[in-house]
């Protein structure tokens, strides 16, 4: 085949040499605009796993790269006058110029033609090519030419950064955070050869503008950064090799994702994007070079598997795209989380967190490195942090916890098992059993099922067990099987359950009060969820109200009329009456449900509130009625007991509530007297398209906690102790509400304690004989488990050498 690679970066060069090795008869040309053995940029970082892959495909190249590597294991944080170091992370760095030199030399030795100082404006300049590799970078001309086919999604991120070098050796990957009168700057510094390190300086746009860097020359920007990070540089200068850039030397990162990766051009040549032309990964996890090299590997793998002749090109390119999209999206998602952390750290973490917790948050910023993974990397550092966290939690507790056994000598308490106090209530740990609808009440009365359901979970080790959403009136129920608290019979039934939990466990028990609004009068969850009750069924429908007229399921749900002011007063007083009954029943905790499209939520979201009176319009007006109800409930609830508020922090629909709105919503409830915000999302509109994944709603709890300054409860796809420990230790939330895992295992908390080897947790006396057995089972299982191999610094596994 005749193959042309547009762009002499890692992607084009590595593919060229591998393809030439596959069959020396291939005629391969690499076209590069720059001079021979010239490049811009400083060092690059990638993983030991990537090098292992390269070794399997071309040992000579891998050996040459390995000999030129700088290797280090530690990450060092310089922050607020402190230096904190954690080890076991494993990085390998190499100068970009040195890497390209190795790849260029290897290409030449194999017979690949290298054309330097040749500007290739188009794939059409090579009409005889069977295959054109468009590795022409982030500003790819080829991608632009065929944008209607490739359908690129390009997002320009808000932070500014400048890519510099320094003739100083750093023993650790160093993160330096410096506060100025206008805000925070951060430097990412890593060694890539024996004498030189990369230094990327980053800051928000507003800070960059305030310091006048928009109009600064490259030399002035370098001098500014030298002054700012003088202590860390210790007299070493900062250098730039990007004087070819026009205007400011500061850049904005561009995230690139393409829907389609290849096309056939007017000459009949197949054109495929590779490297930064098709995908980018933020330098926060440094996987851009890794992705580019592995693009080359995968394309050659498909040629080897499917055939390397021109007629096989469509099948090969389809298979290449399918295989690489999965890995690319995996790394891009991790890079996105890490990128966002650095974009907001000045506003969200730098001022709020102590250096110890800031370091933990930094290390786990992508949510792919977990608590136990940190233990594998550096057990001494993590245990020191756990001791610090435990001391902070203990000092904030209202009383010493009496609900644990004596801890093992030298083993600190995992963050999820530290106490948490709010008002007069002391929770023994950070685990909450989420309120989960059971649809098993009769005429609103909770029965034996609820006693067993909630009682079992109270015995299961969680600190707080929340009863499902409970209606303050018959018309406020979601289904006929939902519980209520509007009469004496219901109050007595709830009191029986509360008394059982208090008598037989050390868990606290809470009640969630809510009104279904437009989502009421529906069938039970295991029947046809969200569908109205059959007209001719045994259970009659009831009229629905909402902030504005709506049908939750268009054309399916019963229409809800707009609630009147008189109705609003009746509903408010029903909430107040139920609150009094909840207190009389002995509940320790109350939560007001203002999420998921139910009545109070329907006032908050602009998707469901089109009112023109004082309860519609801007966010402050839309919050007026929910805050009115909350204030009345807070007044009726005992002052020494806490109230949380569940909100939908993101509607996942354009024009709906955003995470930024959620911060303002939380601030409003905080001013009204709320103690915590329970941070859920979605379910306001059937048009919602959430981005699911493990702990996918935790960022909402994190943002609200830091920016609104109120304690939060994280919910959503939290399914193991590692998740809870990571969330609590990083300060992303104060409590974690776990739902479905508690349906499968009422003793989920006790089980997870055994799984992570935490034995200082009390079991109910009748169950104690099972404690040692399950602990032994998990101990044996852990001893026999193989430790997975790392693939990148931020890939969530420990590494002897594994930067990405």
Unique residue bearing structure tokens 């300054």: 709
Neighbouring C-beta atoms of residue 770, cutoff 10 Å: 14
In whole angstroms, give the CA distance from residue 330 to residue 796.
Answer: 12
Q: In what order do the strands lie in the sheet with 270-273?
A: 113-115, 27-31, 2-6, 131-134, 270-273, 262-264
Contacts of 180 (CB under 8 A, 6+ apart): 207, 211, 228
DSSP string, 774-792: HHHHHHHHHHHSPPPPP-S
Write phi, then psi, for 322 (nearest 5 degrees).
Answer: -60, -40
Told to judge if 598 belongs to the known catalytic residues of this protein, a careful annotator would answer: yes
In whole angstroms, give the CA distance from residue 233 to residue 189.
Answer: 10
Distance set, CA 605 to CA 319, 516, 594, 670, 799 (Å): 44, 15, 10, 19, 46
**325-343 burial, b if ≥16 CB within 10 A, otherwise e?**
bebbeebbbbbbbbbbbbb
**668-697 burial, b if ≥16 CB within 10 A, otherwise e?**
bbbebbbbbbbbbbbbbbeebeeeeeebbb
Q: Which residues pair with 679 in a beta bridge?
A: 647, 714
Q: In what order do the strands lie in the sheet with 173-180?
A: 82-86, 75-79, 173-180, 183-191, 197-203, 152-166, 251-258
SS3 annotation, 379-418: HHHHHHHHHHHHHHHHHHCCCCCCCCCCCCCCCCCCHHHC
Q: Are the CB atoms for 609 and 657 separated by under 8 Å? A: no
Q: Are the CB atoms for 778 and 758 separated by under 8 Å? A: no
In whole angstroms, give the CA distance from residue 419 to residue 396.
Answer: 9
Which two three-digit tokens encode residue 733?
């939330």
In whole angstroms, give the CA distance from residue 646 to residue 596.
Answer: 9
Which two three-digit tokens encode residue 158?
């808000």
- Which of 14, 161, 598, 758 is labelled catalytic? 598
Q: Are the CB atoms for 91 and 794 separated by under 8 Å? A: no
Catalytic amino acids?
A: 598
């Amino acid at each position: 085949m005749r193959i042309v690679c547009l762009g002499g970066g890692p992607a084009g060069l590595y593919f060229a040499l591998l393809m030439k090795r596959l069959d020396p008869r291939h005629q391969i040309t690499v076209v590069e605009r720059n001079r021979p053995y010239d490049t811009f940029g400083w060092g690059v970082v990638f993983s030991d796993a990537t090098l292992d892959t390269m070794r399997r495909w071309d040992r000579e190249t891998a050996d040459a790269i390995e000999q030129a590597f700088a290797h280090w294991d530690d990450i060092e944080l310089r922050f607020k006058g402190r230096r904190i170091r954690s080890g076991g992370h494993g990085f390998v760095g190499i100068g970009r110029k040195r890497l390209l030199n190795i790849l260029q030399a290897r290409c030449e030795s194999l017979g690949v033609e290298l054309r330097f100082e040749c500007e290739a404006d188009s794939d059409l300049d090579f009409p005889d090519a069977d295959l054109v590799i468009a590795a022409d970078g982030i500003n790819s001309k080829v991608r632009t030419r065929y944008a209607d086919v490739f359908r690129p999604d390009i997002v320009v991120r808000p932070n500014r950064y400048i890519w510099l070098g320094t003739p100083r050796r750093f023993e650790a990957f160093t993160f330096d955070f410096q506060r100025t009168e206008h805000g925070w700057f951060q430097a990412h510094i890593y060694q890539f050869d024996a004498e030189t390190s990369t230094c990327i300086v980053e800051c928000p746009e507003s800070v960059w503008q305030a310091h006048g860097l928009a109009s600064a020359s490259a030399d002035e920007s370098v001098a500014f950064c030298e002054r700012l990070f003088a202590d860390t540089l210790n007299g070493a200068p900062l250098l730039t090799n990007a004087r070819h850039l026009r205007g400011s030397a500061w850049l904005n990162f561009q995230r690139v994702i393409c829907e389609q990766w290849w096309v056939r051009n007017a000459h009949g040549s197949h054109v495929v994007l590779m490297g930064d032309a098709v995908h980018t990964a933020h330098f926060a996890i440094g996987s851009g070079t890794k992705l580019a090299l592995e693009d080359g590997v995968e394309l050659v793998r498909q040629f080897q598997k499917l055939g390397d002749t021109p007629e096989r090109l469509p099948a090969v390119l389809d298979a290449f795209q399918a295989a690489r999209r999965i890995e690319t999206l995996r790394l891009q998602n991790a890079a996105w989380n890490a990128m966002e952390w650095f974009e907001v750290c000045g506003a969200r973490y730098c001022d709020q967190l102590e250096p110890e917790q800031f370091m933990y948050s930094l290390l786990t910023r992508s949510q792919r490195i977990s608590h136990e993974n940190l233990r594998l990397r550096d057990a001494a550092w993590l245990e020191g942090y756990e001791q610090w966290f435990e001391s902070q939690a203990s000092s904030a507790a209202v009383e010493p916890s009496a609900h644990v056994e004596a801890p093992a000598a030298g083993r600190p308490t995992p963050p999820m098992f530290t106490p948490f106090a709010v008002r007069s209530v002391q929770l023994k740990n950070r685990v909450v059993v989420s309120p989960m609808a059971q649809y098993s009440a009769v005429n609103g009365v909770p029965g034996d099922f609820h006693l067993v359901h909630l009682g079992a979970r109270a015995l299961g080790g969680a600190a707080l067990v929340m009863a499902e959403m409970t209606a303050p009136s018959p018309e406020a129920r979601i289904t006929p099987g939902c519980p209520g608290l509007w009469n004496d019979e219901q109050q007595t039934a709830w009191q029986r359950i509360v008394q059982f939990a208090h008598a037989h466990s050390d868990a606290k028990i809470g009640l969630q009060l809510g009104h279904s609004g437009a989502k009421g009068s529906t069938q039970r969850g295991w029947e046809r969820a969200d569908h109205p009750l059959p007209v001719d069924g045994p259970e009659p429908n009831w009229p629905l109200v909402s902030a504005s007229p709506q049908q939750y399921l268009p054309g399916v749900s019963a229409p809800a009329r707009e609630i009147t002011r008189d109705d609003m007063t009746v509903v408010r007083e029903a909430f107040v009456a139920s609150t009094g009954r909840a207190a009389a029943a002995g509940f320790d905790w109350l939560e007001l449900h203002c999420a998921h499209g139910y009545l109070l939520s329907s006032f908050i979201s602009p998707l469901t509130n089109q009112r023109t009176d004082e309860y519609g319009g801007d966010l402050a007006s839309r919050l007026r009625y929910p805050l009115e109800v909350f204030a009345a409930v807070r007044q009726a609830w005992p002052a020494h007991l806490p109230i949380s508020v569940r909100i939908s922090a993101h509607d996942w629909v354009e024009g709906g509530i955003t995470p930024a709105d959620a911060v303002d919503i939380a601030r409003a409830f905080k001013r009204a007297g709320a103690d915590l915000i329970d941070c859920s999302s979605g379910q306001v509109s059937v048009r919602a398209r959430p981005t699911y994944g493990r702990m996918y709603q935790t960022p909402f709890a994190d943002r609200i906690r830091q920016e609104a300054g109120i304690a939060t409860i994280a919910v959503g796809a939290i399914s193991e102790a590692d998740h809870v420990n990571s969330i609590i230790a990083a300060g992303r939330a104060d409590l974690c509400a776990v739902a479905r895992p508690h349906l499968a295992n009422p003793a989920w908390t006790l089980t997870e304690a055994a799984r992570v080897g935490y034995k200082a947790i009390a079991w109910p006396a009748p169950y104690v004989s099972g404690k040692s057995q399950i602990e032994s089972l998990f101990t044996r299982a852990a001893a026999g488990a193989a430790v997975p191999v790392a693939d990148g610094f931020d890939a969530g596994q420990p590494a002897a050498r594994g930067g990405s």
